Structure 1
Amino acid sequence: MDYTGKVIWITGASSGIGAALARDAASRGAHIVLSGRDEARLAEVAADCGETLIIPFDVRDDAALADATAKAIHWKGGVDVAFANAGVSQRSRALKTDMQVYRDIIDIDLTAQIAFSQGLIGHMTERGSGALAFISSIAGKVGVPMRTAYSAVKFGLAGYGDALRGELSQTGVNVHVIYPGSVATDVARNAMVADGSKRGVSDRAIDEGIPAADAARKMLDEMAAGTREIIVAQGMEEQMGEMRRTPDALFDQVAQMVAGGYMEKMEAEG
């Protein structure tokens, strides 16, 4: 994939991985659509990205999402690459965590990211091209203590992405699932604790993690190379991710099922 002239839409683009992806993709000649809730912070990112479109909205607002999708597509006639990146993490024991925390994290990190994708797959398949990238986590490969809700949604997002890849395998639309480990962002500081409030402090592992710019560069490089499952981690986290890596042969097998009419047969039986 050559990013020159491509329209890349990124949710959660006001900071962290999202902002780093925007800056790196812009440096490769892409046109960037920035989304998040904080318009002022999105504007700060846009200042580094050349020609951009800022569409602030809350990913949980279905009407706002539909409007944002229409604007992103209309801007230059289509969306070529979309990053489902918006999300919030968690730092609390399951035994002490309010059920509302689970509902909120599922809504933000999973349901809203699926809705974001669902709004674009028709557009991309009609064009016969495009790429969807889902930001999961090493916690979406290996269940991590103090992150039961976060692991649940990141496993779920990966499952959606893998299944969608199979469905779209004959359409020209690529699907990438990305598994970052500790990346130096505010993810831990902004994480929810047991009562749903913001944690307010970071983790040493996060503070000493991969610089966001380096993580974004690897993500974009791997996508350009056509890698379907992208692990962006170091040390023990990288080892954990690699131990749970899905073999390419399995992805190919699912694509072959679809090519052989699997979905049509299922629909006929229904």
Structure 2
Amino acid sequence: MELDGARVLVAGATGVLGGALTAELAARGARPALAGRDPERLARAARRYPGAPVLLFDAYDPASCARAVAEAAAGLGGLDAVVTAFGAVAFGPAAEAGDEVAEHLMAVNALAPAAFFRAALPLLAPGSVLAALTGVVAQAPQAGMADFSASKAALAAWLGAVRREARTAGVRVLDVRPGHLDTGFADRAVAGTPPPLPAGGDPLRTVAAVAEAMAADAELVRTAPDGAPVVERRAR
């Protein structure tokens, strides 16, 4: 897709990665709509993008996710891409996590992104893009992160099925699976304490790769063993 002039809804635009991605897309000429759950953080983010639609959603309320899509399309005069860049993480043995934590992770990491995309699909023309950040745990589940890994793997599986459905309509589905990034995400866990982690990768390199993948109609962004983001035309 052509990013210059593209109308892009970024859900999670107030976060570290979502904010960086919004800035990257805007620098390439995209017209963003900003969605988040905190009104004050949204207001601060919106100052960088005069005229951009600003939309509130609650990941526990799928109807609010669908409403944000509709309002973004109305505010921008249509949508060319929807990106979900939000999530929650928890740490600890699976036996100690608790059902409430597992439910929270599945709602935020899998069901809410799906609600955004489900609402967007009927609105998108050929050449449009759906993009989600799943993470390396979607394909390599980690001990001490069972429910987090499961929630991201669930989203990746959903994206894989929708990709096959959407290809006939010319809509691309991009799965972004970075390794550990230096965003502070692990320090904001909803439960548990993060284990010792390697140095995080540069989120700016990742968002640049995401923008390149969107422009190239690619289907996967992953992290190479040396930490460099890799764009692949077809998802594995």
TM-score normalised by L of structure 1: 0.80
Change (3 A) 1:77 1:105: same
| Structure 1 partner of 2:95 | 95
Change (3 A) 1:247 1:131: closer
Q: Give how far 1:47 is off.
A: 2.7
Partner of 2:142, secondary structure, is: coil
Of 147, 152, 155, the residue aligned with 1:154 is: 152
**CA separation in 1, counterparts of 2:44 and 2:225?**
29
Tell me whether 1:6 sits opposite 2:6 in the alignment: yes
Q: Give how far 1:203 is off.
A: 5.7
| Structure 2 partner of 1:141 | 139
Tell me whether 1:212 sits opposite 2:212 in the alignment: no
Partner of 1:172, secondary structure, is: coil
Q: Give how far 1:171 is off.
A: 0.6
Q: Give how far 1:233 is off.
A: 5.5
| Structure 1 partner of 2:175 | 177
**CA separation in 2, counterparts of 1:202 and 1:224?**
36
Tell me whether 1:122 sits opposite 2:122 in the alignment: yes
* Conservation of the 8 A alpha-carbon contact between 2:217 and 2:233: no
* Conservation of the 8 A alpha-carbon contact between 2:134 and 2:175: yes
Change (3 A) 1:13 1:232: farther
* Conservation of the 8 A alpha-carbon contact between 1:9 and 1:33: yes
The structure number with the bigger radius of gyration is 1
Q: Which runs of 5+ in 2 are unaligned?
A: none
**CA separation in 2, counterparts of 1:189 and 1:216?**
21
Q: Give how far 1:50 is off.
A: 4.6
* Conservation of the 8 A alpha-carbon contact between 2:33 and 2:76: no
Q: Give how far 1:67 is off.
A: 2.5
| Structure 2 partner of 1:257 | none
| Structure 2 partner of 1:167 | 165
Q: Give how far 1:37 is off.
A: 0.9
Tell me whether 1:231 sits opposite 2:222 in the alignment: yes
**CA separation in 2, counterparts of 1:32 and 1:233?**
29
* Conservation of the 8 A alpha-carbon contact between 2:179 and 2:223: yes
Q: Which runs of 5+ in 1 are unaligned?
A: 252-270
Q: How does 1:1-270 map to 2 (within 5 A)?
A: 1-124=1-124, 127-194=125-192, 204-205=197-198, 208-232=199-223, 235=226, 248=234
Q: Give how far 1:234 is off.
A: 5.0
- Aligned residue pairs, count: 236
Render the CA deviation track for 1:114-169: whole Å, top value 9, x for unaligned.
11110011111xx3341000111101110111111111011111111111111111
* Conservation of the 8 A alpha-carbon contact between 2:10 and 2:22: yes
TM-score normalised by L of structure 2: 0.90
Task: Calculate percent identity across the aligned residue pairs.
Answer: 25
Which amino acid counterpart does residue 71 of structure 1 have in structure 2? E
Render the CA deviation track for 1:46-97: whole Å, top value 9, x for unaligned.
3334542110221221332232222111112211111122210121111211
